[in-house]
Structure 1
Amino acid sequence: MNAVTASQGRKHFTVAIDWNQHPIEWHLEQYGSWLLLDGNGETYLGSRGILGHVIDAENGVQVDRRFRAPPRCKIDVFHAMAVEDLLSHMMKTENEKVRHWLKCVVIYHVDFKKEDEVAKILGVSEYSVQRDKMLGLVRIASRFKIPSRLMG
């Protein structure tokens, strides 16, 4: 465990949760659902909670731009921190190409955007999004030995 993680009282993300219990796609989508819970988005993303989105929607302001329905959140704050640490670690330690793959994975699985929206956001084709999303998931799964729906 490194000094920063130890000083915060957090376990390293590889041992904080049982990654083998569910595929990586499940962990990412649960993290996205957790961020949507009231207060978590504000605390961890600096944006407003889902209740604020409901009030804005009533006032005619469109702020929730999800295109896919998120699953019901089944994780706690420690699980969310482990997923967050995994993504942060990979974004810091991987090369530019892999970071691009990870952006595709995060926008699709955590932000719940459809592939055509991911393509618009990143300025690439839908085929590139499908390929990069697959490569990103395989990279995460193979590097940390986490099961994935892609790899059986």
Structure 2
Amino acid sequence: MKLSDIKVILETATNVNFMLADGTYVPEHFHVTEVGEVAKKFIDCGGTVRTETVVNFQLWDADDYEHRLKPAKLLNIIKLSEEVLGLADNEIEVEYQGTETIGKYSLDFNGTDFMLLPTKTACLAQDQCGIPPKKQKVELGSISASGSCTPGGGCC
């Protein structure tokens, strides 16, 4: 989800809820402690220089159980961040504290809740890493018998 997408959603939303992939929710009393831009410049294992820029939200839940972030407040935080930091309309990355470390998530919306989708690492230069392609799994029953040997056909 891009920054422009969340702004459109927040214009008409009644609540701001973040749901994790396992169906649990970030507690209602969460804070958005940071909105920023993260730029990453790196070289992949194939020697290609790459850049990536995301808008970063950091979610935090504290012991102030009376806190409830309203859509208009989050929209104002985003707009202020755009003005002050000059944020571009990039994809949103969300940081949220897991049980042991901070997790990074991509963001989606299911019509009611914002969904924190797990992110995964990947090799960006698989053609240069020597990683063999995955073998295709085929069920023996799905293999066509046409053009193959048959009993008594004289090909074996």
Specify if TM > 0.5: no
Q: TM-score range by the shorter chain?
A: under 0.3
User: Between Structure 1 and Structure 2, which shows a larger proportion of helix residues?
Assistant: 1
- Please say which structure displays the higher CA radius of gyration: 2
Q: Return the TM-score normalized by structure 2.
A: 0.20
User: Between Structure 1 and Structure 2, which shows a larger proportion of strand residues?
Assistant: 2
